[in-house]
Amino acid sequence: MNRRDSLKAIGLTAISAGLVLEACKPGKEKIVKVEEEAQPGRQDFEIARDKKLNSYKFFNDHEMATITVLVDIIIPKDDKSGSASEAKVPDFIEFIVKDMPEHQTPMRGGLKWLDLQCLNRFEKTFKDASLSQQIEMVDDIAYPEKVKPGLAQGVAFFNLMRNLTASGFYTTEIGVNDLGYIGNVPNRWEGVPADVLKQYGMEGV
């Protein structure tokens, strides 16, 4: 089972169906306004809250670059659909940690932990390590049942990162298409099934 398929197997309980990714871009008030018009049921306080959250950044450039690498390791581009970063999942995560402040310390602490681990192993931060080194680091914290002693903090951080990545990706058009979801479609009536007609002796009728 590949990484993308593994993600489909986990429960995406953190997904919020009403959260539109394009409205989460920091500083993009024009985009937010468009989404407001697309959701006329939103209240004034919700609009004001989103504008406030979009008015500042939480993660610095280094942290955002690290998040971008991580989300693309979790959901890479394949021949079926784009990667997590192409679906703008880093912007989603930036918005979520501002909207849900309880994620701020675990995320920032986890990113620092990841860099310290890579500096000790490879003398490079995670984002500057080679792809093989990044995968090695991720593999050590991606599977809780196989985790080595001393990596519990990394496992907790990666679980949160994986959940946020999946939530962000599968609430975008790219993610929905990847799942193959086509929404509600009308049924096509093709008559009574042949085996039912035969059962009641009406196959020739």
pLDDT surpassing 70 at residue 105: yes
- pLDDT by residue (tens digit) across 18-49? 343 343 444 443 333 334 345 567 788 888 88
Q: What are the structural domain ranges in the chain?
A: 52-179
In 3D space, the residue among 195, 177, 189, 201 whose CA is nearest the CA of residue 78 turns out to be: 177
* Short-list 99, 47, 89, 38, CA closest to 64: 89
More confident residue, 146 or 181: 146
At 125-138, the pLDDT tens digits run 999 999 999 999 99
Mean pLDDT of the chain: 80
Mean pLDDT of 194-204: 80
Mean pLDDT score, 70-87: 91
pTM strictly above 0.75: no
Instruction: With both helix axes pointing from N to C terminus, report the angle between 44-53 and 89-99 in degrees, rounded to the nearest 10.
Output: 110
Query: At residue 181, does pLDDT exceed 70?
Result: no
pLDDT at 8 over 80: no
Q: Cβ of 66: how many Cβ atoms within 10 Å?
A: 24
Residue 161: which pLDDT band, with cuts at 50, 70 and 90?
Answer: very high
For residue 91, the model assigns a pLDDT of 94
Percentage with pLDDT > 70 across the chain:
75
Note the pLDDT of residue 98: 94
